[in-house]
Structure 1
Amino acid sequence: MKKEEHYLQRCLECDTVVNIAKDLHNQTACCPNCDEVLQSGNRWGLRRCTIIALSILILLPFALWFPLMSIDLLGVPIDASVWGGVWKMATAGFPYTAFMILICSVIMPISFALLVISLRLQRLLGYRPRYTLIFLKKAKQWVMLDVYLVALAVAAFKVREYAPLSFDIYLLPFVLTTILTILLFIKIDPNRLWNEFYPEYHSLSPDYPSQPTLCPECDYTFDENIVDKKGRQRCPRCETNLAIPDSAKLQRVWATLVAGVIMMIPANILPISSTEFAGSTSADSLMSGVLLFISMGSYTVAAIVFIASIAVPFSKVGVILYLLLAIHFRWKHPIHWQMKLLHYVHFVGRWSMLDLFVLALMMSLVERGQIISFSVGDAAFYFGAAVFLTMISSSNLDARMLWRIHREHQDTKTSG
């Protein structure tokens, strides 16, 4: 195959320079060193992705504002919707907790669909969507409709002990919206969109003589040296500042991790919810809520809540702390095992929001002033803040730092 049909791409995870074919024909190119996907051929074009995004935008009003399930409390039907739970939590004196739920369940799903549609419009109008593409990549982890769908099942198990429960027809649009959103996540390719909107930024030929530079924001491998007025190197395509030292990146990870750990202390000590029924009030912390499900015989739900609310947050903190110490002390540990741990925290971090989604649904179903009264506890805000901070912490942890340490040990072993 001719050299013109190949180009160089630097791996975003391990920094290896790989020679990739330009036309993969529904095949996937992976890094031979760490198996990171460098180019996926099984992706959809912008037109098809826009159709999916438009379908999501049409379904979202029915999925978010209409009732998903309802209970019959002494002959009075009470509905639960995504927006209803957020509104009742905000008006009950918990606006900050409600805002965190609003971001993940309403604002970001709508924003993600609008971003894809706006890319199509900008192509038709001939605009350059630099900031749209940057935000599209960052917004993905904050869209949590799939987590909310699991929260619906948990809330249904929790409330069925108090009153008859039924699911509404509008649950179907919510499920369809969740499926279409996951499909859009899988099929849209921001790297391909960067190349289509900015075709003048050439790819490097396989015989390029020196080590190229990689932009971690738009995944562009280039050889230009673009410097701004302050002397900082910038990506020629997305204008991202590439001169941020590793020490500054690590400071961000440490700061958000320590803040998240501080938030986890009151989140696990204070009550996260309280229920008043038949004149008696019971306040539940995260752990006591799990024990309550176990006492009710709902072992599956108890396992889900325990994993999402206790096991995942603590294990995520432990993994990030270990990786930070491994970088600081330059530990000689298996790099592929460390990468698996890093991928773990990236994947599971968002699922800790499940407990807050359950609280929002319970607020919507069980109103104050009724025979059954449900209220959010003070721990809810601290728990949500801990989830947000640890997600930000893990997203700022650069895998290339670990690979550099691994290569240093390999070079020392070879030279020795």
Structure 2
Amino acid sequence: MISTRWGETRCEITQAIADFVVEKMGKIFVHPPPFDLSKSFQDSNACAPLIFILSPGADPTMALLKFANDKGFGGKKFNSISLGQGQGPIAAQMIDHAIHEGSWVLLQNCHLAVSWMHSLEKICEELTPETVAVEFRLWLTSYPSPKFPVSVLQNGVKMTNEPPTGLRQNLLQSYLNDPISDESFYNGCSDSRKPEKESHFTKLLFGLCFFHALVQERRKFGPNGWNIAYGFNESDLRISVRQLQMFINEYDEIPYAAISYMTGECNYGGRVTDDWDRRCLMTILGDFYCDKLVNDLNYKFSASGHYHLPLRTDYESCIKFIKQLPASQYPEVFGMHENVDISRELQETKELFSSVLLTEGRVKAGAKGSDTAVATVANDILAKLPKDFDIDEAIKQYPVTYTESMNTVLVQEMERFNR
């Protein structure tokens, strides 16, 4: 009872903080803006490459292909190659051809072609307005790597597309991206002989997107989520969605065994190398590819009922339903205990402080060292604190009761600081 109450209190506190930030600073600090390639493209020119800094769970390739088609650079005017052993000379030929023709080139996974990075740096240095067509653009994708040429980074337009945080944001992004956002695709299971096919597809589609959000969010729990951190991304969802529509259109009855095998064992399972992780993945998928989801009007995805299938599964109703989901998810939706959030938050805090420390500049001669700076801050904090906390007064104001576990923690911490 205490752990459940504490979990609900945490979510209420998180929501209150989010509301406060929105009120004082604006929605942009709580709701991340959608990935917008057009703004980055406006800052680019033919002599400066556009660099995607990749992160696990995000794949900008399809967004770039769609953007290229919208700009009239689809088909033969867009060439792409994934770098690796022996691909460098082919990429160089593509760039040379595109420079004169005024087309676009995408070099994927630059971090895998370390030996060719010096050649890429030389190619980028030789790009001048006199020798390059105005329409030419060089797009690069790479995970953070110390071997990536510094000069290319400095001169290029840098972009990153972080995967969404939380179940709500993850679900929302899945519905706003292709192919789900395409109306003709979303309504592509209409059959006059079996009108229920459309409803079956939209329900299973929502379940598939929820499954995709779950497997991505479990990665944040470390070994409690997956024994190995797998790079599930949008391409896994995209191919699974298309296969789901294909199977429902081609079969009179829903072939659960086939779609479960293709989605769980092939698309997502193709990345899974641990046997227990594979078993966990297929068990989770079984909750979303099942008869109950299709036939139950209020199918629940969690024991508490906070997460369930929307009553109406048309596109607009699903978007509205997703936006009403809790901003901070309860661990029980993952089948985990409330205390698992402690380890997740500790890990996130360590990563945050590690990233902040990386930005700290080197101390120059004669400047104060980091120990001196820490001591100054610590002394300032100590000067504002009382000599000793009044334990008796604290017990009166915050009595220890069964339903308020935080009161016990507060008194214990006061005693510890007094010592």
User: Is the TM-score greater than 0.5?
Assistant: no
- Range of TM-score over shorter length: under 0.3
Q: Give the strand-richer structure, 1 or 2.
A: 1
TM-score (norm 1): 0.25
The structure with the largest alpha-carbon Rg is: 2
> What TM-score, normalized to structure 2?
0.25
